Structure 1
Amino acid sequence: MATVEHCLYCFEALASHLENRKAMTLVEVEKSWSEYVAATDADAELEGDEPGAADPGAGRNKLAKRLPALHRLAASSSSSSSSPSSVSSTTSLQQQQGGGSGVSTPATSISSMTPPPPRRQPITESPLFVTWNAMSARHGYNLRGCIGTFEPQDIEEGLSSYALTSALHDTRFSPISARELPSLEVAVTLLTDFEDADDAMDWELGKHGLRISFYYHGRRYGATYLPDVAPEQGWTKEETVVSLMRKAGWMGRKDKWQDIDLKVVRYQGKKEDLEYAEYKAWRDWVEEK
């Protein structure tokens, strides 16, 4: 699945390009993030800061509160520093039996079966999409760019490339400028579990993304929606399919969409998102260090 580090790296790729400076590598981002989380956790314990407090540590503490168990994630990353900090979509947990003598109380029984934090498994390549949203005081977050690929990409090269492509070369929008950085949110989606659907309704809202292709009047059309698009828009499955056909360029009558022979591939997406303020808090810490 996508990670916080992937989001940080996308911001780093875009910000360094717009600011004309050398970007950190993904490995450097992962290592620095582990150290940052550990420092944030220590600061919170020593200072007793509350989220939103008006002090220099507020950003770090806000981030620590927002992302659960970050110190455990950092620990698992540091235990295998040579591996990328991506994770697989599922992790199996094994229960362990306690070995002490005597009768266990309910509390000690639960404690003895608590597994250690799972070690994140490395993932080196994946199909992926990078999405940029911009915050508007009136309308909330609005799409500013979204481009990806269904071909497996090396994670570092793919994230860097598509972070810039989606920000600067999405033809639906003007290129993102440096002054827009503070308003941005980035979302990284790693795509998994591609399956041919039996028909246009053979998928689940909120679980599957869709990739459709079809021919109409001798011309081939195609388009995709990531898994979160339909729930965010409040669409039904039929509305999603029709909207996707419109996105592909189909201009036929809405009530005739079922007459089109659609090829539908469903897939799942493991997504993470991050706001610029959270990237900036980490990046300022890196500069101070």
Structure 2
Amino acid sequence: MSHTAHIPSHRKPRRNAPKTALRAGVAGGVLSTIAVAGAAGPAQAEPVTQTLEMPTITAGLSTAVAESAQATQQVAQDLQTQAQEDAAAATAAKTAKKAKAEAVRKAEAKKKAEAAAKAKAEAAERASRTAARTTLSASSGSSAGTGVASASSSSSSSSSSATGSAASVIAFVKAQVGDAYVSGGTGPNSWDCSGLVQAAFRSVGVDLPRVSQAQSTAGTQVSLSNLQPGDILYWGGTGSAYHVGVYVGGGQFVGAQNSSTGVVQRPLSYDPPSGAVRVL
């Protein structure tokens, strides 16, 4: 017997062929499965990647946000426009109110200025009459006094002898005694001197010029010593008279004197005239 026959072998026992084949088949199947799984893995992962529609969701959200921002901006613009319109309306109303107040102020100022000018004109007229009377008194002296005295001495007969148109003129001017004097007045309740004379003669169908200067040359010049009821008396020069009245007989005349006295009946000595004209 060999000495080596009893020495155990360290070599692994050989496996039999069927088991080895089986194991090889199992291992190959596992490896195939792994390979298939590995190959199928990307194919299965790809749909997941493709089905994530984040860009589409993000685009829709961006559109909604943009539309919301645009709507908000439009509301802001509308509010701003409305605020501007309200401010413009308030400014226009303020401007209109200011313009109205200014117009009222100007109207009041104009009215006051007209009143002041009228008062000044009346004062100037009174002063002019006073100066003219002083001049006439100094220049005419006794001749005017003689004429007035003659007219006064024949007053009763002259007054009673007024008939026809002259009587109507006298009745007209006497009916206005007590009315107010207003520069430029032509009636029916306020007059200036020439307006009263013109209206009196118009009542009998005689048209006279409107102003005293022209009325002092409208008829035939007559002496103050030969006056008749209905004659026109004037103060100042012929053609430049500043005042007129109507002789009513009895040494009296009626005239719209000034704003203080109005229409009055006075004796010739109250304010001696400088001349007279006869129209009737």
Please say which structure displays the higher CA radius of gyration: 2
| Structure of higher RCO (CA pairs closer than 8 Å, 6+ residues apart) | 1
What interval of TM-score do these two structures reach, taking the shorter chain for normalisation? Answer: under 0.3
Q: TM-score, normalised by structure 2?
A: 0.20
Q: Normalized per residue, which structure has more helix?
A: 2
Q: Normalized per residue, which structure has more strand?
A: 1
Q: TM-score, normalised by structure 1?
A: 0.20
